[in-house]
Amino acid sequence: MKRSILAALVAVVLAAVGCVAVAAYVRTADKRALAGQKAVQVLVVRKKIPAGTTGQAIRTGGYTELVIMPAATVPADALGGIDAPLLELAVTGDQQPRQLLLRGAFDAPITHSGGLAVPDGMLAVSVSMRVPAQVAGYVRPGSSVAVFDTFTVAEGKGPGHLPAGDGLATGHDYDQATRLLLPKVQVLALGGRGTPGAQVGPQPAPQPTPSPSGSTTSGSQQADTGSVLITVAVTQEQAQRLVHAAQTGALYLALLGDGTEARPGPGVDNYSLFQ
């Protein structure tokens, strides 16, 4: 009888010791699991922040909200608030709802002219392009693009492929060439004022215009249906070249990938296309 009672007491003691050990292990396991999971407060975009919005406007405009997230899952430049150095800076691109607001999204504010944000020291120039020429609609504000020009080649005007200046003339007797015009420019807007991002058109194409030789011209002198206005930021020298090319040839865009560099060259013409 005494042995039974003693055995029961020993079992109870062992069970208690086991419970304490398990509880201690669980507590240390929780600490190990929480190691590196310190909670931090970060700013998350509550409503869309348009490009060009200053830090001061973001702070007072109700654009963001504070949320708590594990520190290990938050980027190093995530913001927990709009501090003084950011008040006069502005976001360089649209900030979408539910994304983290990062310090790298801010830069020096750009000048606003006529409702369009134009980088300081640059000019805004708009040209009309067919939908395929603007990469089938994948070009967006903020995109970096290369601009190509297709033109009728001038005969006997020196080496290389030079524009004749009479538009993109058609006919078997004409040699046409395509060359890189601008290696890299930034797209500011698509579409006309009041309809940002919208395509302009489709528009009725005018009747072909006879060239001096009697053939018809196309390109910039003959609008295509489904055209869209593309506004880019350029220097004065680039603006002159772009405007001239738009008047005498046909423009085409190419989206630039990360690290991609478009390099000027002689281009190709009807005779060198397949060489």
| Sequence-distant (≥ 6) Cβ neighbours of residue 55 within 8 angstroms | 82, 86, 87, 88, 89, 90, 106
What is the third-level CATH fold of 39-109? Type Iii Antifreeze Protein Isoform Hplc 12 (3.90.1210)
Q: Does the pLDDT at position 148 exceed 80? A: yes
Q: Where are the domains of the chain?
A: 39-109, 113-269
pLDDT of residue 258: 83
pLDDT of residue 120: 78
pLDDT of residue 168: 60
pLDDT of residue 66: 93
Name the least confident of 10-24, 75-89, 224-238: 10-24
Q: What is the pLDDT of residues 115-137, one digit of tens each?
A: 677 887 889 999 988 877 777 77
